[in-house]
Chain A
Amino acid sequence: MQPVATTFFFYFLSALALLGAVFVITRRNAVHSALALIVTLLALAGIYLMLYAPFVAGVQIILYAGGIMVLFLFVIMLVNLERAEKEKQFNQQWLIALVAAGGLGLLFVRVFTESKTVSGLLQKPLAQLAESTNTQQVGIALYGNYMLAFEIASLLLLVAIVGAVVMAKKRI
């Protein structure tokens, strides 16, 4: 017996996420796009909670909705967008791009629903994920199996900081 709340929250949160995504790519004003993107990110954080990933949900809210979106909003305020708002918003190849991207999405859906390999992958019973010790287990994985990748990620962030400063500074 499946609880009804799961179904309701899944459809509610995915409708919110898709609506936010549509607003991101259609709004004329970049600030409105950024706010719609925040809605999408928060809805996805809720979906991560439904998938027994509370740590990823927290990271999503703190890093994405809190950090990256603040960066975006700052840049929108630094860059003068008033001229861009009055101009044409879509380029000339929009129709063919729409068809190509729609075809790509349909291809994904078809592979997920029709392919024997994928349905074989999905036949597995759900893993037993402990919700209360999730953060602990992610930490153990990060500092155990993924130690090297973790260190390389810190190096990547250092390079990104230096690169962003070099790019944005007037005179070095």
Chain B
Amino acid sequence: MVPITPIHYLILAAALFALGTIGVLTRRNVVIVLMSIELILNAVNLNLVAFSRLWGLNGQVFAIFVITDAAAEAAVGLGILIAFFRNRETVNMDEVDLLKW
């Protein structure tokens, strides 16, 4: 059996990142787009923690900072979503054009 090395974790993170990118680019529902962004951030976190297995604790500290940023991003993003829904009664990504002139 092949032993599990950090490269396995990196490939898993790349797959998660690609799935998150597909979600961001193709879905029309804003809530699911925000969830796909969380998937992307998780893939980054997995990369950082996998490298911390080789290079010491700094990767884990950075992963914690990324989680903090994800929390801030989710709060602001969902606040914007609620404000948008109040104005337009829709959650479709295509109809987000309030800033277009």
CB within 8 Å of B: which residues of A?
Answer: 2, 4, 6-7, 10, 14, 17-18, 21-22, 24-25, 27, 30, 33-34, 37, 40-41, 44, 47-48, 50-53, 55-56, 59-60, 63-64, 67-68, 71-72, 75-76, 78-81, 83-84, 87-91, 93-94, 97-98, 100-102, 104-105, 108-109, 112-113, 121-122, 124, 126-127, 129, 134, 137-138, 141-142, 145-146, 149, 153, 156-157, 159-161, 163-168, 170
Contacts and interface: CB of A to CB of B under 8 A. Distances in A.
Interface residues of B, number: 76
A2 B1 contact: yes
B91 A71 contact: no
9 contacts: A21-B15, A40-B16, A51-B50, A60-B67, A64-B67, A87-B92, A104-B21, A124-B54, A129-B52
B16 to A, nearest CB: 6
B12 A17 contact: yes
The dominant DSSP class at the B interface is helix
Interface of B: 1-12, 14-23, 25-29, 31-32, 34-36, 38-39, 42, 45-46, 49-58, 60-61, 63-65, 67-76, 78-83, 85-86, 89-94
Contact of B27 (A25, A44, A121, A160): A25
The dominant DSSP class at the A interface is helix
B43 to A, nearest CB: 9
A149 to B, nearest CB: 6
A113 to B, nearest CB: 7
B42 A51 contact: no
A124 B46 CA distance: 18
A159 B46 CA distance: 27
Contacts of A138: 57, 60-61, 64
